[in-house]
């Protein structure tokens, strides 16, 4: 199964287009299973969507633990600093910050991943700002700094990013990527840090102010994120553009959820977020129950 996801902004500028290859890594669930840790991990770390999308409400509303959320992670390589230090990052349309582990972090999740050393970069600029980010699973705290960031063929000489000092828990420890490159809007960026793609647009580094994502089921190759353009060889016919309902996440209005022509959820319309950093479909419990009933699904085992 293959699919194409297009996300765009309205303004146009001139410069260049670059494509970053993405790899589909071994799933976190597979890693945990191999170490005999999956069942215990799921009990201690239920997937909490509220903590990612509604952090102020995360402690007020319960979430339903989900067991099958760790099968798909697509990540690519970027570099930071002079000379370049390479990192694998998850390109995440559900968050806005760029961050990587740093030498200031001694959490187990940092020590088994590549860590950025600002002392080894002649172009690094320190700030006095802190950053703290909560995801559906995992979190980080650290500091903000500026340096040269290269994404594909695009070089941004003044990009703000996070250097993690703590990465508690085991989710990030078993993740195949080092850090996260957020592609959502500045309005939800922690500490007001300018997202990478916004910086590309502001500095005229892309030929068009849009990016596109192609996700392949192939484990190692075929997937990519393209900044500044769309590769027309990956689709046929015309593209359908959907207006955003909010410039926070990539949020759109859905009319309904139907199966075989029958409306089974979202009957009066609802809001949805397109998130490349989340591998599951999530929704209100009533709607999900309707879907389960319609397809005859039942709770299974890990």
- Rounded to the nearest 5 degrees, what angle is found at the Cα of 124, between the Cα atoms of 120 and 127? 130
Place of tokens 């799933």: 27
Taking CB atoms within 8 Å and a gap of at least 24, the contacts of 255-264 are: 257/283, 257/287, 257/291, 259/291, 259/294, 259/295, 262/294, 264/290, 264/291, 264/294
Task: With beta carbons less than 8 A apart as the criterion, state whether 183 and 195 touch.
Answer: yes
Q: Where is 72: in which H helix or E strand? A: none
What would the two tokens of residue 28 be? 């976190």
> What does the angle CA 195 – CA 198 – CA 201 come to, to the nearest 5 degrees?
155
From the list 92, 147, 156, 178, the catalytic residue is 92
Tell me if residue 128 falls in helix, strand or coil: strand
Distance CA 48, CA 136 (A): 5
- Check if 275 is active-site: yes
Burial 208-245, CB ≥16 within 10 A → b, else e = bbbbbbbbbeeeeebbbbbbbbbeeeeeeeeeeeeebe
Sequence-separated (6 or more) residues with CB below 8 Å from residue 14: 204, 207
> CB within 8 A of 135, min separation 6: which ones?
51, 52, 95, 180, 277
Catalytic residue among 178, 198, 275, 299, which?
275
Alpha helices in 87-233 (DSSP H): 108-111, 196-202
The reply to whether 156 belongs to the active site is no
How long, in residues, is the chain?
A: 302
Catalytic residues: 92, 275
């Amino acid at each position: 199964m293959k699919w194409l996801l297009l996300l765009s902004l309205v303004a146009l500028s001139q410069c260049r287009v670059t494509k970053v290859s993405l790899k589909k890594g071994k799933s976190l669930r597979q890693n945990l299973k191999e170490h005999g840790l999956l069942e215990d991990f799921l009990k201690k770390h239920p997937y909490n969507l509220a903590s990612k999308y509604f952090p102020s409400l995360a402690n007020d509303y319960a979430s339903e633990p989900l067991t099958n959320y760790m099968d798909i992670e697509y990540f690519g390589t970027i570099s930071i600093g002079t000379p370049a230090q390479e990192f694998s990052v998850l390109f995440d349309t559900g968050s806005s910050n760029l961050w990587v582990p740093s030498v200031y972090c001694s959490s187990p999740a940092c020590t088994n991943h590549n860590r950025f050393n600002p002392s080894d970069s002649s172009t690094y600029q320190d700030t006095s700002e802190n950053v703290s980010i909560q995801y559906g699973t995992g979190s980080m705290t650290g500091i903000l700094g500026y340096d040269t960031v290269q994404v594909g063929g695009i070089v941004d000489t003044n990009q703000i990013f996070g250097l993690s000092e703590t990465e508690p828990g085991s989710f990030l420890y078993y993740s195949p990527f080092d850090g996260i490159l957020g592609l959502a809007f500045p309005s939800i960026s922690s500490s007001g840090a300018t997202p990478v793609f916004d910086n590309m647009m502001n500095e005229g580094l892309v030929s068009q102010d849009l990016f596109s994502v192609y996700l392949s089921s192939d484990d190692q190759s075929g997937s990519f994120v393209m900044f500044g353009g769309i590769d027309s060889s990956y689709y046929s016919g015309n593209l359908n553009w959907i207006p955003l309902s909010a410039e926070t996440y990539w949020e759109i209005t859905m009319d309904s959820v139907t199966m075989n022509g029958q409306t089974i959820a979202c009957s009066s319309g609802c809001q949805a977020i397109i998130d490349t950093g989340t591998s599951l479909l999530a929704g209100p419990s009533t709607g999900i129950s309707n879907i389960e009933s319609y397809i005859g699904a039942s709770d299974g085992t890990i």
